[in-house]
A and B are shown apart, each in its own frame.
Chain A
Amino acid sequence: MKRVVILGHVDHGKSTILGSLLAHTNTLPKTKLEQVRNYCRKNAKPFEYAFLLDAFKAEQEQGITLDVARCFFKYKESEYLFFDAPGHVEFLKNAVTGAFQADYAIVVIDAEEGVQENSRRHAILLSMMRMDNLVVVINKMDLVNYDQSRYVQMKQEYNQFLTEHGIGSSLFLPVSGLVGENIVKKTERMPWYQGKSLLETLEDFTVPSSFAHKPFRMPVQDVYKFTEKGDSRRIVVGFIESGQCQIGDQLCFLPSGKEAAVASVEDFTSQGVTQVVAGTSGGITLSPQIYVKRGELAVKKSEKKPVTSSRIKVRIYCLSPKPLQKGETYILKTGTTKVSFSIEVICSVLNTKTFRYENKNVIEQNDVAECIFVLNSAIAFDIEKEFIQLSRFVIVHEYAIVGGGVISQALFLSEDQHSNVLCEQGCIRPAIFVNNEKRLTQKPFIVFAIGGSDKIIKKFAHEFQNSLVKQNRNILTFEIDSAGLQEQKEHNRCVAILNLLIAVNRSLLCLVKRESRDLLNKLCDYMCSCKVLIVNLSQGKRLQLQSDYCIVSEGNVEKLIQKISEDLKKG
């Protein structure tokens, strides 16, 4: 079933287009259409298809859609579930409810009134959730005499807006919902339009497939032990977001890191099921029967692991009438995890009325913002670029969902260990600072310390800094997330910052959490005029990159640092 949402500004004809689709494909019971006609006649109102969907009496009296309606519809072999969203800004939370459940979107714009606030705002919403399947319908063409130049002008204007906000090429088509022009059959009144009708366009949509090819991800929803009738099974249940797992597979539960194998797959109606697959609600038992609980993310040991962090960079959409602000505690829900958090940094805020970036300390209703959240405990997730489904979350405050967002990046080390003086955004940020305003005339160097557990990273960084301070040498420490370096802009920024500091004779220690040979090689290449050392902190694991030093065990750290210091002295 194709799930399609109809969005756009108030009174631009969303319900009319949907009503028209229903009526012109004979999807409706005749009595229903007749009922609406009678109602309009009795109440001296002009007939409107919208009354088919605006079911509430209050909606019909005011001629406005209050809440999103579900509407089923079948044409030829395709089945559709439409969400008819309200276009009034006051009911944006209801539009979001529809929009975020759909796979495809139609944005309706009134040819006479032109692009309005919610035409733009709804598109921003779509880009937020990375919805690329956008169809823009220029409606009410009958009111502008089916004028081609009007259509072209609007198409250009809106396309420019979409491009500016990173929304890729979209399909445009001119229609009249009320007249039924270009809805089902190709238009006759607009011979200048060569494309497909709305229904033909919808027919080209495909039902999105489940994420069977991705690594296994099952947020643990609950653990059941029903003792009735001597049932002794301990069943771990959850919706499988991606991948598959079968009996015998080694699983890892994150963030706890506990491990167990799949002992059995439980299914009430079928015997002998051996695997659970993406898109289903499954149940498994484990061996050994470890203690796991709701909120953990089950993954396969052999596959790519998700990220675990308690400090995250996010992009959010605020639905809360009360502004979100620093210092307040909120709840974040992702997968089946629930964790309290506070906003540490508000990096940027986009006002979706003016479409300007604003410099402010709070996030108001309908704003899109980039921020850094500090969570009360670590959670496991995939970042947006890896798997958007596992990066999505909602914000809960005072018994209601007040916003949604995606995690764009995991940030490392705890909040009290850094100062945000230099650069808060992006893949590089200052980590542990020590007082070392000394000897800036020395020859600078840069150390890339790669991999390792949080514990060993901390130990190495701490002792390395101390040893240099003792020698009256300066050192600045950074964390670098190689995943972030993939973006050219970030890579350039990182190189610029590091080179700048080297140019003023600062020596640098960079803690690299994830190794990526190509990216680090590239980074090293760009580091001019200083000595570059690579230290492998991953205790015996071979790096793809050739390292100059290798830490075998924790006890080995001091000795190694001594060696590095000596080598540095030698030049």
Chain B
Amino acid sequence: MNNLQKLESKSIYILREAYYHISNLGMLWSAGKDSTVLVHLCRKAFFGHVPFPLIHIDTGFKMPEMIAFRDQLALAWGLTMIYSQNRQALHDKKTFPDKTISCLECCKKLKTEVLQQVVQGKATQFRLNHTTAQYELDRTPEPLGGLIIGIRADEEGSRSKERYFSVRDKNNDWNYESQLPEFWGHFNTEFSPGSHIRVHPLLDWREIDIWQYIKREQIPISSLYFNKGDGTRFRSLGCIPCTRPIYSAASNIDEIVEELQSGELANTGERSGRAQDQEDRGGLETLRKGGYM
């Protein structure tokens, strides 16, 4: 039994545990490589169905290709698709691209705060109508008991210390100093009132595992990850103003796997093109304590 099979089996086990134990479950889907693998794993775990809504926190600065890719898959796979965004901040021009606040503050406003509102059922959110292929205002948003998120331990330090089932208090805060133990496939599935749970089925996957799995399962993936002739490609996808491509000639999945194996990228972190990671040593940790994914 190879490593990919083991990873797949464990992730499916975790997804099924989450589905059994958590009422009003939702899953974050950014249309990036990791969360798209997660959607595929859901379809495997639930035999072609995805029995909970997929939620995209759309900052309004996402790459148009990603939005198009998202909607194309959502329609093809019959996914319950919801997106939400902080229209107030965008309208008031209180964003980093508007140069009125810092990068970290912007992440907090456009992502963390929106996410928190979605969890509380207080967000302005839009639901995909599969008949018209248009988004419509979701008039009855419900609070979520738990969120499945495709973070991986090898992306960044604070994520390397996460649990598969990670409890958040009612303010969405992560008390990382007092995480509960979990072992032998038994997760913390008893929740005190008011808390909600973050489920991380991809914690043990590495970047290379993700690509090898995409290849093995023939999972559709955004073309932004590939070099289209200019010698650059995105290794990690985020908002346009805060995401830089890397220099790479890899133009298909095989070449990306080859590139990762050869050690050509050994001197650059996967998220080196993401601005929020570079600020204030441990910028992502600060964000994540406050509820960021």
Contact = CB atoms under 8 A, between A and B. Distances in A.
Note whether A and B form a binding pair: yes
Interface of A: 1, 26, 29-32, 35, 39, 53, 55-58, 66-72, 79, 81, 93-94, 96-97, 99-101, 209-210, 221-222, 224, 226, 228-229, 231, 233, 235, 237, 239, 266, 268-269, 279-281, 283, 294, 319, 331, 333, 392-394, 396, 398-401, 404
Nearest to A335: B185
Contacts of B204: 70, 81
Contacts of B6: 1, 279
13 contacts: A32-B269, A35-B281, A55-B161, A56-B282, A70-B154, A70-B160, A70-B161, A100-B183, A222-B20, A268-B47, A398-B192, A400-B181, A404-B184
- Report the 4 A-B pairs with minimum CB-CB distance, sorted nearest first: A55-B157, A100-B183, A281-B12, A70-B153
A69 B17 CA distance: 23
A445 B281 CA distance: 80
B92 interface: no
A239 B176 CA distance: 29
Nearest to A281: B12
Interface in B151-206: 153-154, 156-158, 160-161, 163, 176-177, 179-186, 188, 190-192, 203-204, 206
B282 to A, nearest CB: 5
Interface stretch (B38-46, B60-68, B221-229, B251-259): B38-46
A409 to B, nearest CB: 19
Contacts of B285: 55-57
B289 to A, nearest CB: 9
A229 B46 CA distance: 14
B9 A93 contact: no
Contact of B9 (A96, A239, A331): A239
Given A222-B19, A266-B47, A401-B181, A97 B163 contact: yes
A228 B204 CA distance: 32
Contacts of A71: 160
A226 B49 contact: yes
Contact of B46 (A35, A226, A396): A226
A401 B186 contact: yes
A319 B158 CA distance: 24
For B3, B160, B163, B192, the residue with the greatest tally of chain A CB atoms inside 10 Å of its CB is B160
Contact of A39 (B182, B272, B281): B281
A294 B266 contact: no
B247 interface: no
A283 B267 CA distance: 42
A79 to B, nearest CB: 7
A266 B203 CA distance: 26
Contacts, number: 153
Given A67-B179, A70-B203, A100 B184 contact: yes
Given A221-B16, A233-B47, A400-B180, A67 B269 contact: no
A279 B9 contact: yes
B86 to A, nearest CB: 27
Nearest to B265: A29
A221 B7 CA distance: 18
For B49, B78, B183, the residue with the greatest tally of chain A CB atoms inside 10 Å of its CB is B183
B182 A237 contact: no
Nearest to B177: A66
A223 B44 CA distance: 15
Given A70-B154, A71-B160, A31 B16 contact: no
A223 to B, nearest CB: 10
B48 interface: yes
Contact of A221 (B8, B13, B268): B13
Contacts of A39: 281
A240 B266 CA distance: 37
A7 to B, nearest CB: 14
A283 B47 contact: yes
A285 to B, nearest CB: 11
Contacts of B46: 224, 226
Contact of A56 (B10, B158, B203, B266): B158
Contacts of A396: 190
Contacts of A26: 266
A96 B181 contact: yes
A237 B9 CA distance: 12
A136 to B, nearest CB: 22
Contacts of B136: none
Contact of A281 (B45, B160, B179): B45
Contacts of B279: none
A96 B267 contact: no
Contact of B177 (A58, A235, A281): A58
Given A55-B285, A279-B5, A394 B158 contact: no
Contact of A57 (B153, B183, B282): B282
A319 B46 CA distance: 35
A394 B184 contact: yes
A79 B47 contact: no
A333 B186 contact: yes
B76 interface: no
A396 B272 CA distance: 41
B231 interface: no
Given A228-B49, A231-B49, A279-B9, A399 B269 contact: no
Given A29-B267, A55-B161, A396-B190, A96 B47 contact: no
B51 interface: yes
For B47, B181, B268, the residue with the greatest tally of chain A CB atoms inside 10 Å of its CB is B181
A319 B181 CA distance: 9
B217 interface: yes
B183 A394 contact: yes
A6 B24 CA distance: 38
A281 B268 CA distance: 35
Given A96-B183, A268-B47, A72 B206 contact: yes
B186 A394 contact: yes
Nearest to A209: B1
Contacts of B156: 55
Given A31-B267, A221-B16, 20 more contacts: A55-B156, A55-B158, A56-B176, A56-B282, A56-B285, A67-B177, A69-B160, A70-B153, A71-B160, A72-B206, A97-B182, A210-B1, A228-B78, A279-B1, A279-B9, A281-B16, A331-B190, A333-B186, A394-B183, A399-B192
